[in-house]
A and B are shown apart, each in its own frame.
Chain A
Amino acid sequence: MKLSRHTKVAAALAGAASVALLASACSSDGGGTDEAASDEPITLTITTFGTFGYDDLYEQYMDENPNITIEATNIDTGGNARTDAFTKIAAGSGLSDIVAIEEGWLGSIMEVSDTFVDLRDFGIEDRSGDWVDWKYAQATDADGRVIGYGTDIGPEGLCYNGVLFEEAGLPSDRAEVAELIDGDWEHFFDVGRDYQEATGKAWYDHSGFVWNAMVNQLDEGYYTADGELNVEGNAELQERFELLGAATEDGLSAAQAAWDWNGGKSFVDGTFATFVCPGWMLGVVQGNTEAGGGDASTGWDFADVFPGGAANWGGAFLAVPETSENQAAAAALADWLTQPEQQVAQFEAAGTFPSTVAAQDELAANPTPNEFFNDAPVGEILAGRSVGVVAQFKGPDDSVIQENVFGPPLQKLDRGEVSTQEAWDEAIVLLDELVG
Chain B
Amino acid sequence: MTTATPEPVPAVEVDVVSPDRREKVDKYGRPRRGRGSGNAGLGSRPGFLTYGLLAAFVIGGAYPLWWSYVVASGTNATRGETLPLIPGGNFLANAAQVLDAIPFWLALWNSIVISSTITISVVTFSTLAGYAFAKLRFRGRDGLMIFVIATMAIPTQLGIIPLFMVMRELGWTGEIGAVIVPTLVTAFGVFFMRQYLVDVIPDELIEAARVDGANQIRTFFHVALPAARPAMAILGLFTFMMAWTDYLWPLIVLSPTNPTLQTALSQLQSGYYIDYSIVLAGAVMATIPLLILFVVAGKQLISGIMAGAVKG
Contacts and interface: CB of A to CB of B under 8 A. Distances in A.
Direct contact of A and B (CB under 8 A): yes
Interface of A: 1-5, 47, 50-51, 73, 75-77, 79-80, 84, 87-88, 90-94, 259-260, 263-265, 283-284, 287-288, 291-293
19 contacts: A1-B97, A3-B100, A5-B97, A47-B257, A76-B267, A80-B270, A84-B257, A88-B174, A90-B164, A91-B164, A91-B167, A91-B171, A93-B174, A263-B79, A263-B276, A264-B273, A264-B274, A288-B273, A293-B77
Given A259-B272, A263-B275, A84 B173 contact: no
Contacts of B167: 91
B10 interface: no
Contact of B168 (A79, A90, A288): A90
Contacts of B79: 263
Interface of B: 75-77, 79-80, 96-97, 100-102, 164, 167-168, 171, 173-174, 252, 255-257, 267-268, 270-276, 278-279
Nearest to A78: B272
A76 B75 contact: no
B256 A80 contact: yes
A79 B273 contact: no
B243 to A, nearest CB: 21
B255 A76 contact: no
Contacts of A73: 256-257
Nearest to B266: A80
A420 to B, nearest CB: 29
Contacts of A283: 272
B274 A2 contact: no
Contact of B171 (A80, A93, A293): A93
Nearest to A283: B272
Q: What 8 pairs across the A-B complex have the smallest Cβ distances?
A: A91-B173, A287-B273, A2-B101, A94-B174, A3-B100, A288-B273, A91-B168, A4-B100
Given A75-B257, A87-B252, A94-B255, A4 B97 contact: yes
Contacts of B96: 4
A284 B267 CA distance: 17
A50 to B, nearest CB: 6
Nearest to B256: A75
Nearest to B273: A287
Give the one of A51, A76, A80, A259 with max B CB within 10 A.
A76
A79 B196 CA distance: 48
A288 B76 CA distance: 11
A161 to B, nearest CB: 17
B273 A284 contact: yes
Give the one of A80, A91, A293 with max B CB within 10 A.
A91
A90 B252 CA distance: 11
B1 to A, nearest CB: 25
A17 B289 CA distance: 44
Contacts of A75: 256-257
A2 B100 contact: yes
A3 B96 CA distance: 11
A267 to B, nearest CB: 9
**Chain B residues touching A, majority SS:** helix
B255 A265 contact: no
B79 to A, nearest CB: 7
Contacts of B275: 1, 5, 263-264, 291
B256 A87 contact: no
Contacts of A2: 100-102, 271
A398 to B, nearest CB: 20
B264 to A, nearest CB: 10
A293 B75 contact: yes
B124 to A, nearest CB: 30
A87 B80 contact: no
A92 B257 contact: no
B160 to A, nearest CB: 12
A384 B278 CA distance: 37
A84 B270 contact: no
Nearest to A259: B272
Nearest to A50: B272
A92 B173 CA distance: 9
Contacts of A92: 168, 171
A264 B168 contact: no
A287 B271 CA distance: 11
Nearest to A292: B76
Contacts of A260: 274
Nearest to B252: A87
Given A5-B97, A93-B174, A259-B274, 11 more contacts: A1-B271, A3-B101, A4-B97, A76-B270, A76-B271, A77-B272, A79-B270, A84-B256, A265-B76, A291-B273, A293-B76
Give the one of B76, B97, B255, B257 with max A CB within 10 A.
B255
A23 B311 CA distance: 80
Give the one of A47, A80, A291, A293 with max B CB within 10 A.
A291
A87 to B, nearest CB: 7
Contacts of A79: 270
A283 B164 CA distance: 37
Contacts of A80: 256, 267, 270
Give the one of A79, A260, A263 with max B CB within 10 A.
A263
Contact of B101 (A50, A76, A87, A264): A76
Nearest to B267: A76
A215 B155 CA distance: 44
Contact of B255 (A3, A51, A87, A287): A87
A293 B252 CA distance: 36
B267 A1 contact: no
Contacts of A287: 272-273
A429 B95 CA distance: 45
A394 B96 CA distance: 39
A291 B276 CA distance: 9
A291 B79 CA distance: 12
A259 B274 CA distance: 8
B76 A76 contact: no
A279 B20 CA distance: 67
A260 to B, nearest CB: 6
A287 B80 CA distance: 18
A50 B271 CA distance: 8
Nearest to A79: B270
A72 B272 CA distance: 20
Given A88-B255, A91-B167, A1 B273 contact: yes
B174 A284 contact: no
A291 B257 contact: no
